[in-house]
Each structure stands twice: as structure tokens, then as C-alpha cells.
């Protein structure tokens, strides 16, 4: 079953697959009444009502959760749609229903910010230039490798980082002096502050924050229990901020226009490759139940992961197979 694309309806095919088969699912189902994929009335997206569409989508999502390993992740990218001039929020209605089953939970909503969105004719609305990628996990043990995500930007971030200002930490020294901490606590706080400043100068960390008892508020409730205890017991805490801690839930990429692909709704291979690096290791098994022109499969292949694609339209199965063959030969998509 590995490294191929199956022609057919994904719900029927998924039902024949055993539990816990895949390590990662990444997919983009057809959006509600958005495009004609030449499937006649077959396939998702052609339903008469939003309710019917959501019901069908959730049934497929449930199957995706079932066939994913307990430490696996399921990523769904769904775009929004205006209905009678009003934004429908369909992606969020889907996400809310998806987590209601309690068989998975939402780790992140990664927002794709489109660098070249389609201009809007309607001059009384802003251009819609974002789409969510919902990242669901089945358990807290989900695979997540922040070091590998957007790694190619690490050196750029380092190069453009300004050298630290002479005033770095000055404000905190003043606050320590005027605080109600004991003399011993003040001395420990100054020592930790000096160490943090040195780490920024050495480039070991990006920056830091300090919280001092009686001056800064404790985090609300149990959300930051460890730090709250440090502040209560030691009088202060230093929060070190490294590059990884600054990796945000937003990713920029143009909408792809490629000559070799006449599929009408391709998602950027750049985003899919970054998600694969974040959420899987080499040899992991990745499923795309709505594989279209095969972007997920190409990305998986480029990164030495195994894949299975499912697609209802025979022309797209052919297109996907051609693209995979081409990318295996010249690695033109590899980033
Ligand atoms: C948004 S496109 C996916 C595009 C893909 N991410 C790419 O980059 O090429 C959705 C695809 O799902 C297919 N599809 C719709 N209903 C399906 C079903 N029930 N089972 C399998 N594929 C289906 C459509 O034919 C379409 O190619």
C-alpha cells in the first residue's frame, strides 16, 4: 500500500484500512461549493447544504483519526467562503465539530498568509488572504520537531538580528534595586540577569524577560505553575527566549502557479514540506485522502517519507503520478 495513489472515494477506501496505519495525515478537502473538479456529483464539496458538507467531511475526518497512530497528527487545510455576501466560517465550524468527538485535540491553527492573493472585485471587503491549516493530535505524545521547522530561516534570522543594545537588562537592574526582595534574592537576581545578558551577546538566546515578585503579576491560574513557584520561592524568574520559541503559527507563501499542473486548487509544496519536517521523521507513513495533483505525496517523497494518496478523479491520479515521477527524477520541488 506504500508510495502509491489509489483511485476512488476516500471514505470507502479508508474504511478498508486498519487502525493506526499512518503517522501523519495532511490534506485539503474541496471547499464547500467552491470549484468544479470535474467529478460530476461525486466527491466532497458538491453538497446542496453547508450542513451536509460538514457532515460528510466529519465522517472522513473520523476515519483519518482512526487510521492514524496514537502519536500521530492530522492536518486539514480548509478555506472559507462568502455565502450571500457574508463570510461563512466553515473551516471553524468544521474544527469545532472535529474536536467535539474528543478523539483528537487541536494543537495549532497554522495560518497560511498568501503573498499573492486574488484581487477582490467587491470594494467593500478586504481581500481574503489567509487560510487555516488545523493541526490535530490524537494524544499528548504527538511527534513535533520544532528544530526542523523553517530551519532554512534560522541563519537569516541570525544575520538580521541587531547586535544587543548597551541598555539590555538595565530596566531589570533598576527594578531589582527598588524591589522588596531580600538582599540575598537581589544578589541572585542580578547574577541570573548578568548570565542572561551574556547569553544574548553570545547569540545563545534571542532575548529574555524577567519577572520579579511584587512587581510583575503571576501567570493566571495553574497555566504557568513552575514559573509562579520560582517567583514565589526565589523572588524572580528569567524567561529565556530562543529562536524556536519565536516560531509563530503563521507561514507566508505565494499561491502556486506551476506550468506542469492544471489542477485548480493546489496548495504550496513549501508549506507541506515544512509541516512534514515539523510532524514526521524519515520513513514515516503519510496519507493524503484528497490528494489532487499529488502535492503531499511529492513533498513526502522529496523528504524520504512514505505516502499514500487517494483521489476520486482519474485525470488527477494520472497528473499526480506524472508529477511524482518528474520530481523524483530532478528534485525540482526540493527545498
Ligand atoms: C482541494 S483539492 C486537493 C489539491 C491538492 N492538495 C493538491 O495540492 O493538488 C481536493 C481534491 O479532492 C478530490 N476529491 C473530492 N472528493 C473526493 C473523495 N470523496 N475522495 C477522494 N478524493 C476526492 C477532488 O477531485 C480534488 O482533486
80-86, Cβ contacts within 8 angstroms, sequence gap of 24 or more: 80/31, 80/128, 80/131, 81/31, 81/32, 81/33, 81/34, 82/125, 83/50
β 207-212/82-83 pair status? unpaired
- Compute, in angstroms, the gap from residue 29 CA to the centroid of ligand 1: 6
Domain ranges of the chain: 4-150+247-330, 162-246
Q: Supply the pLDDT for residue 332.
A: 45
C-alpha to C-alpha distance for 331 and 335, rounded to whole angstroms: 9
Between 143 and 219, whose confidence is greater?
Answer: 143
- Compute, in angstroms, the gap from residue 216 CA to the centroid of ligand 1: 51
How far is CA 138 from each of CA 58, 142, 297, rounded to the nearest angstrom?
15, 7, 22
Mean pLDDT (whole number) for 57-73: 98
Q: What is the mean pLDDT of the chain?
A: 90
How far is CA 201 from each of CA 155, 156, 189, 196, 307, rounded to the nearest angstrom?
16, 17, 19, 9, 44
Ligand 1 atom at shortest distance from the alpha carbon of 267: 8
pLDDT at 334 over 50: no
Beta carbon of 188 within 6 Å of any ligand 1 atom: no
Beta carbon of 205 within 6 Å of any ligand 1 atom: no
Beta carbon of 5 within 6 Å of any ligand 1 atom: no
Beta carbon of 9 within 6 Å of any ligand 1 atom: yes
Beta carbon of 263 within 6 Å of any ligand 1 atom: yes
Q: Supply the pLDDT for residue 228.
A: 86
What are the tens digits of pLDDT across the range 70-98? 999 999 999 999 999 999 999 999 999 99
Radius of gyration of the chain (CA): 24
- Compute, in angstroms, the gap from residue 45 CA to the centroid of ligand 1: 9
- Compute, in angstroms, the gap from residue 286 CA to the centroid of ligand 1: 16
The set of residues, in sequence order, having a beta carbon less than 8 Å from that of 22 and lying 6+ positions away, is 67, 68, 69, 72, 285, 286, 287, 308
Contact 74, 57 (CB under 8 A): no
Q: What percent of the chain lies above the pLDDT cut of 70?
A: 91
| Minimum CA distance residue for ligand 1 atom 15 | 43
Between 230 and 163, whose confidence is greater?
Answer: 230
Segment holding 109, helix H or strand E: strand 105-114
Q: Name the CATH topology of 4-150+247-330.
A: Rossmann fold (3.40.50)
pLDDT at 142 over 60: yes
Query: Nearest 5°: phi and psi at 97?
Result: -65, -40
Mean pLDDT (whole number) for 160-170: 77
C-alpha to C-alpha distance for 110 and 122, rounded to whole angstroms: 27
Amino acid at each position: 500500500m506504500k508510495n502509491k495513489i489509489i483511485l476512488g472515494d476516500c471514505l470507502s477506501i479508508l474504511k478498508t484500512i486498519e487502525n493506526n496505519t499512518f503517522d501523519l495525515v495532511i490534506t485539503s478537502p474541496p471547499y464547500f461549493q467552491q470549484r468544479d473538479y470535474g467529478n460530476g456529483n461525486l466527491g466532497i464539496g458538491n453538497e446542496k447544504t453547508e450542513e451536509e458538507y460538514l457532515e460528510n467531511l466529519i465522517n472522513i475526518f473520523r476515519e483519518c483519526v482512526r487510521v492514524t497512530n496514537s502519536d500521530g497528527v492530522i492536518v486539514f487545510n480548509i478555506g472559507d467562503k462568502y455565502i450571500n455576501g457574508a463570510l461563512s466560517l466553515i473551516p471553524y465550524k468544521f474544527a469545532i465539530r472535529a474536536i467535539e468527538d474528543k478523539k483528537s485535540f487541536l494543537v495549532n491553527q497554522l495560518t497560511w498568509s498568501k503573498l499573492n492573493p486574488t484581487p477582490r472585485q467587491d470594494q467593500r471587503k478586504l481581500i481574503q488572504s489567509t487560510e487555516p491549516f488545523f493541526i490535530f493530535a490524537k494524544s499528548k505524545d504527538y511527534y513535533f520537531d520544532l528544530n526542523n521547522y523553517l530551519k532554512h530561516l534560522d541563519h537569516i534570522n541570525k544575520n538580521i538580528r541587531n547586535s544587543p543594545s548597551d541598555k539590555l537588562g538595565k530596566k531589570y537592574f533598576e527594578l531589582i534595586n527598588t524591589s522588596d526582595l531580600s538582599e540575598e534574592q537581589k544578589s541572585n537576581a542580578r547574577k541570573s540577569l548578568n548570565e542572561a545578558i551574556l547569553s544574548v551577546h553570545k547569540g545563545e538566546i534571542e532575548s529574555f524577560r524577567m519577572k520579579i515578585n511584587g512587581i510583575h503579576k503571576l501567570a493566571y491560574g495553574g497555566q504557568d505553575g513552575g514559573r509562579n513557584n520560582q517567583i514565589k520561592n526565589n523572588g524572580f524568574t528569567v524567561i529565556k527566549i530562543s529562536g524556536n520559541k519565536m516560531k509563530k503559527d503563521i507561514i507566508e507563501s505565494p499561491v502556486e502557479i506551476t506550468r506542469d499542473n492544471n489542477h485548480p486548487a493546489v496548495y504550496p509544496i513549501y508549506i507541506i514540506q515544512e509541516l512534514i519536517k515539523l510532524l514526521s521523521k524519515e520513513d514515516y507513513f503519510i496519507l493524503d485522502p484528497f490528494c489532487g495533483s499529488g502535492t503531499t505525496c511529492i513533498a513526502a517523497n522529496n523528504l524520504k517519507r512514505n505516502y499514500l494518496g487517494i483521489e476520486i478523479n482519474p485525470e488527477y491520479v494520472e497528473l499526480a503520478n506524472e508529477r511524482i515521477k518528474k520530481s523524483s527524477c530532478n528534485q525540482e520541488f526540493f527545498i
